[in-house]
Amino acid sequence: MQRKIRVLVGKPGLDGHDRGAKVVAAALRDAGMEVIYTGLHQTPEQVVEAAVQEDVDVVALSILSGAHMTLFPQVLELMREQGIGDKLLTGGGIIPPEDMQTLADSGVGRLFGPGSSTQDIAVYIREWFKTATGDDPFVAPAPLAPARLPSAGIMPAPSPARDAHHARAAKKVAKRRAPSRATAARRNGKAASKPAKRAAARPAARATPARRAAVTRAATKKAVRRKPARRR
Protein backbone atom coordinates (compact mmCIF):
# COMPACT_ATOMS: atom_id res chain seq x y z
CA MET A 1 0.00 0.00 0.00
CA GLN A 2 1.25 3.49 -0.80
CA ARG A 3 0.75 6.27 1.76
CA LYS A 4 2.23 9.49 3.07
CA ILE A 5 4.71 9.22 5.94
CA ARG A 6 3.51 11.22 8.96
CA VAL A 7 6.26 13.10 10.81
CA LEU A 8 6.15 15.15 14.02
CA VAL A 9 8.97 17.71 14.16
CA GLY A 10 9.45 18.58 17.83
CA LYS A 11 11.39 21.33 19.51
CA PRO A 12 11.75 20.27 23.15
CA GLY A 13 13.36 22.34 25.92
CA LEU A 14 14.29 25.99 26.22
CA ASP A 15 16.22 26.02 22.94
CA GLY A 16 15.18 28.92 20.72
CA HIS A 17 17.05 27.82 17.58
CA ASP A 18 14.11 27.01 15.34
CA ARG A 19 15.61 27.62 11.89
CA GLY A 20 16.88 24.05 11.46
CA ALA A 21 13.55 22.58 12.59
CA LYS A 22 11.66 24.76 10.11
CA VAL A 23 14.06 24.00 7.25
CA VAL A 24 13.80 20.25 7.87
CA ALA A 25 9.99 20.39 8.31
CA ALA A 26 9.59 22.26 5.00
CA ALA A 27 11.97 19.88 3.20
CA LEU A 28 10.15 16.77 4.42
CA ARG A 29 6.80 18.32 3.42
CA ASP A 30 8.21 19.11 -0.04
CA ALA A 31 9.44 15.51 -0.26
CA GLY A 32 5.82 14.37 0.09
CA MET A 33 5.49 13.71 3.83
CA GLU A 34 2.74 14.89 6.17
CA VAL A 35 4.55 17.12 8.67
CA ILE A 36 3.36 18.53 11.98
CA TYR A 37 5.61 21.05 13.76
CA THR A 38 5.12 21.47 17.52
CA GLY A 39 6.64 24.95 17.76
CA LEU A 40 9.19 26.07 20.37
CA HIS A 41 9.58 25.21 24.05
CA GLN A 42 7.75 21.91 24.34
CA THR A 43 8.20 19.47 27.22
CA PRO A 44 8.99 15.83 26.33
CA GLU A 45 5.47 14.97 27.57
CA GLN A 46 3.90 17.48 25.17
CA VAL A 47 5.94 16.13 22.25
CA VAL A 48 4.95 12.51 22.92
CA GLU A 49 1.32 13.46 23.55
CA ALA A 50 1.22 15.22 20.16
CA ALA A 51 2.84 12.18 18.51
CA VAL A 52 0.11 9.88 19.91
CA GLN A 53 -2.71 12.28 19.00
CA GLU A 54 -1.44 12.79 15.46
CA ASP A 55 -0.72 9.08 14.96
CA VAL A 56 2.70 9.77 13.41
CA ASP A 57 5.23 7.29 12.08
CA VAL A 58 8.24 9.39 13.02
CA VAL A 59 9.14 11.67 15.94
CA ALA A 60 11.94 14.02 14.81
CA LEU A 61 13.54 16.33 17.38
CA SER A 62 15.64 19.41 16.77
CA ILE A 63 18.02 20.19 19.65
CA LEU A 64 20.76 22.83 19.52
CA SER A 65 20.86 23.68 23.23
CA GLY A 66 23.23 20.92 24.34
CA ALA A 67 20.46 19.14 26.27
CA HIS A 68 20.21 16.23 23.78
CA MET A 69 21.57 13.64 26.26
CA THR A 70 18.62 14.40 28.56
CA LEU A 71 15.84 15.10 26.07
CA PHE A 72 16.28 12.17 23.63
CA PRO A 73 16.27 9.49 26.40
CA GLN A 74 13.23 11.15 28.07
CA VAL A 75 11.24 11.26 24.83
CA LEU A 76 12.23 7.67 23.98
CA GLU A 77 11.14 6.42 27.39
CA LEU A 78 7.79 8.25 27.14
CA MET A 79 7.23 6.86 23.64
CA ARG A 80 7.73 3.35 24.98
CA GLU A 81 5.40 4.05 27.91
CA GLN A 82 2.72 5.39 25.55
CA GLY A 83 2.92 2.33 23.28
CA ILE A 84 4.62 4.04 20.33
CA GLY A 85 8.11 2.64 20.99
CA ASP A 86 8.03 1.00 17.53
CA LYS A 87 7.98 4.40 15.81
CA LEU A 88 11.19 6.08 14.68
CA LEU A 89 12.81 8.62 16.99
CA THR A 90 15.30 10.67 14.97
CA GLY A 91 16.47 14.27 14.84
CA GLY A 92 19.38 16.63 14.62
CA GLY A 93 21.14 19.74 15.86
CA ILE A 94 24.40 20.39 17.69
CA ILE A 95 25.18 16.82 18.73
CA PRO A 96 28.78 15.50 18.94
CA PRO A 97 29.39 12.19 17.09
CA GLU A 98 30.19 10.30 20.32
CA ASP A 99 26.80 11.36 21.76
CA MET A 100 25.11 10.25 18.53
CA GLN A 101 26.67 6.82 19.03
CA THR A 102 25.59 6.60 22.69
CA LEU A 103 22.03 7.57 21.75
CA ALA A 104 21.99 5.10 18.83
CA ASP A 105 23.01 2.32 21.24
CA SER A 106 20.00 3.16 23.43
CA GLY A 107 17.52 2.88 20.53
CA VAL A 108 17.45 6.38 19.01
CA GLY A 109 17.63 6.49 15.20
CA ARG A 110 20.18 8.34 13.08
CA LEU A 111 20.92 11.95 14.09
CA PHE A 112 21.96 14.74 11.71
CA GLY A 113 24.40 17.57 12.46
CA PRO A 114 24.88 21.01 10.90
CA GLY A 115 25.30 20.94 7.12
CA SER A 116 23.33 17.72 6.69
CA SER A 117 21.50 17.44 3.40
CA THR A 118 17.74 17.51 3.84
CA GLN A 119 17.53 15.04 0.96
CA ASP A 120 19.62 12.55 2.98
CA ILE A 121 17.22 13.04 5.90
CA ALA A 122 14.20 12.31 3.66
CA VAL A 123 15.89 9.23 2.17
CA TYR A 124 16.79 7.91 5.63
CA ILE A 125 13.18 8.31 6.86
CA ARG A 126 11.77 6.67 3.73
CA GLU A 127 14.15 3.70 4.05
CA TRP A 128 13.23 3.23 7.72
CA PHE A 129 9.52 3.46 6.85
CA LYS A 130 9.75 0.83 4.08
CA THR A 131 11.61 -1.61 6.34
CA ALA A 132 9.49 -1.02 9.46
CA THR A 133 6.00 -0.97 7.90
CA GLY A 134 6.43 -2.73 4.57
CA ASP A 135 4.41 0.09 3.02
CA ASP A 136 5.40 2.10 -0.01
CA PRO A 137 6.06 5.75 0.91
CA PHE A 138 4.49 8.45 -1.21
CA VAL A 139 7.23 10.51 -2.88
CA ALA A 140 6.45 13.98 -4.21
CA PRO A 141 7.35 14.42 -7.88
CA ALA A 142 10.45 16.55 -8.48
CA PRO A 143 9.60 20.22 -9.18
CA LEU A 144 9.53 21.16 -12.87
CA ALA A 145 12.44 23.14 -14.27
CA PRO A 146 11.52 26.72 -15.29
CA ALA A 147 10.31 26.97 -18.88
CA ARG A 148 12.85 28.22 -21.42
CA LEU A 149 10.68 29.14 -24.34
CA PRO A 150 12.24 31.21 -27.14
CA SER A 151 8.91 32.98 -27.61
CA ALA A 152 8.96 34.07 -23.95
CA GLY A 153 12.23 35.91 -24.59
CA ILE A 154 14.08 34.06 -21.84
CA MET A 155 16.47 32.19 -24.14
CA PRO A 156 16.36 33.43 -27.76
CA ALA A 157 16.81 30.67 -30.30
CA PRO A 158 20.31 30.61 -31.86
CA SER A 159 20.47 32.69 -35.06
CA PRO A 160 23.58 33.01 -37.32
CA ALA A 161 22.23 36.30 -38.72
CA ARG A 162 21.97 37.82 -35.24
CA ASP A 163 25.44 36.55 -34.32
CA ALA A 164 26.94 38.17 -37.43
CA HIS A 165 25.12 41.42 -36.69
CA HIS A 166 26.47 41.43 -33.12
CA ALA A 167 30.02 40.76 -34.35
CA ARG A 168 29.80 43.71 -36.81
CA ALA A 169 28.43 46.02 -34.11
CA ALA A 170 31.17 44.98 -31.66
CA LYS A 171 33.87 45.72 -34.32
CA LYS A 172 32.41 49.18 -34.96
CA VAL A 173 32.37 50.01 -31.26
CA ALA A 174 35.95 48.80 -30.81
CA LYS A 175 37.11 51.01 -33.74
CA ARG A 176 35.32 54.05 -32.35
CA ARG A 177 36.90 53.55 -28.95
CA ALA A 178 40.50 53.39 -30.12
CA PRO A 179 41.72 56.72 -31.58
CA SER A 180 45.38 56.70 -32.54
CA ARG A 181 47.70 59.33 -31.08
CA ALA A 182 47.68 61.10 -34.45
CA THR A 183 43.88 61.18 -34.48
CA ALA A 184 43.83 62.41 -30.88
CA ALA A 185 46.25 65.21 -31.79
CA ARG A 186 44.18 66.17 -34.86
CA ARG A 187 41.05 66.26 -32.75
CA ASN A 188 42.79 68.68 -30.38
CA GLY A 189 43.39 71.04 -33.27
CA LYS A 190 47.12 70.40 -33.65
CA ALA A 191 49.07 69.12 -36.57
CA ALA A 192 50.45 65.71 -35.84
CA SER A 193 53.80 65.93 -34.05
CA LYS A 194 56.70 63.66 -34.98
CA PRO A 195 56.04 61.14 -32.20
CA ALA A 196 52.35 61.21 -33.09
CA LYS A 197 53.16 60.52 -36.73
CA ARG A 198 55.37 57.65 -35.63
CA ALA A 199 52.61 56.37 -33.46
CA ALA A 200 50.18 56.63 -36.35
CA ALA A 201 52.49 54.46 -38.42
CA ARG A 202 52.37 51.76 -35.75
CA PRO A 203 49.37 49.40 -35.64
CA ALA A 204 46.53 50.92 -33.60
CA ALA A 205 46.84 50.32 -29.87
CA ARG A 206 44.01 48.56 -28.13
CA ALA A 207 41.77 51.03 -26.35
CA THR A 208 41.88 50.38 -22.64
CA PRO A 209 40.21 52.62 -20.06
CA ALA A 210 43.69 53.57 -18.76
CA ARG A 211 44.89 54.58 -22.26
CA ARG A 212 41.75 56.58 -22.94
CA ALA A 213 42.19 58.40 -19.62
CA ALA A 214 45.85 59.14 -20.47
CA VAL A 215 44.89 60.64 -23.86
CA THR A 216 42.25 62.83 -22.19
CA ARG A 217 44.73 63.96 -19.53
CA ALA A 218 47.35 64.86 -22.16
CA ALA A 219 44.82 66.80 -24.23
CA THR A 220 43.63 68.74 -21.17
CA LYS A 221 47.22 69.62 -20.22
CA LYS A 222 47.91 71.03 -23.69
CA ALA A 223 44.70 73.03 -23.67
CA VAL A 224 45.60 74.58 -20.31
CA ARG A 225 49.15 75.40 -21.39
CA ARG A 226 47.93 77.21 -24.55
CA LYS A 227 48.08 81.04 -24.18
CA PRO A 228 44.73 82.82 -24.27
CA ALA A 229 44.12 84.81 -27.45
CA ARG A 230 44.81 88.55 -27.16
CA ARG A 231 41.88 90.88 -27.22
CA ARG A 232 41.83 93.36 -30.03
By CB under 6 A, residue 15 contacts ligand B12: yes
Contact assessment for residue 188 and residue 221, using Cβ atoms and an 8 Å cutoff? no
Candidate ranges 17-25, 46-54, 129-137, 167-175; the one touching ligand B12 (CB under 6 A):
17-25
Please give the Cα distance from 182 to 72 (Å, whole number).
82
By CB under 6 A, residue 62 contacts ligand B12: yes
Please give the Cα distance from 148 to 155 (Å, whole number).
6
By CB under 6 A, residue 44 contacts ligand B12: no
The one among 32, 66, 73, 107 contacting ligand B12 by CB under 6 A? 66
Give, rounded to a whole angstrom, the gap between the first and last alpha carbons of the chain: 107
The one among 31, 35, 48, 64 contacting ligand B12 by CB under 6 A? 64
CB of 16 or CB of 39, closer to ligand B12: 16
Amino acid in position 178:
A
Please give the Cα distance from 78 to 72 (Å, whole number).
10
91: which strand partners?
61, 111
Candidate ranges 58-66, 80-88, 201-209, 214-222; the one touching ligand B12 (CB under 6 A):
58-66
Contact assessment for residue 135 and residue 3, using Cβ atoms and an 8 Å cutoff? yes
By CB under 6 A, residue 93 contacts ligand B12: yes
Q: Interaction with ligand B12 in 105-144: which residues (CB under 6 A)?
A: 112-116, 118, 121
CB of 135: closest distance to ligand B12 in angstroms? Answer: 20
- Rounded to the nearest 10 degrees, the angle between the axes of helix 68-81 and helix 97-105 is 20
CB of 125 or CB of 196, closer to ligand B12: 125
42: which strand partners?
12
CB of 113 or CB of 156, closer to ligand B12: 113
CB of 38 or CB of 62, closer to ligand B12: 62
By CB under 6 A, residue 9 contacts ligand B12: yes
Q: Strand, helix or coil at 51?
A: helix
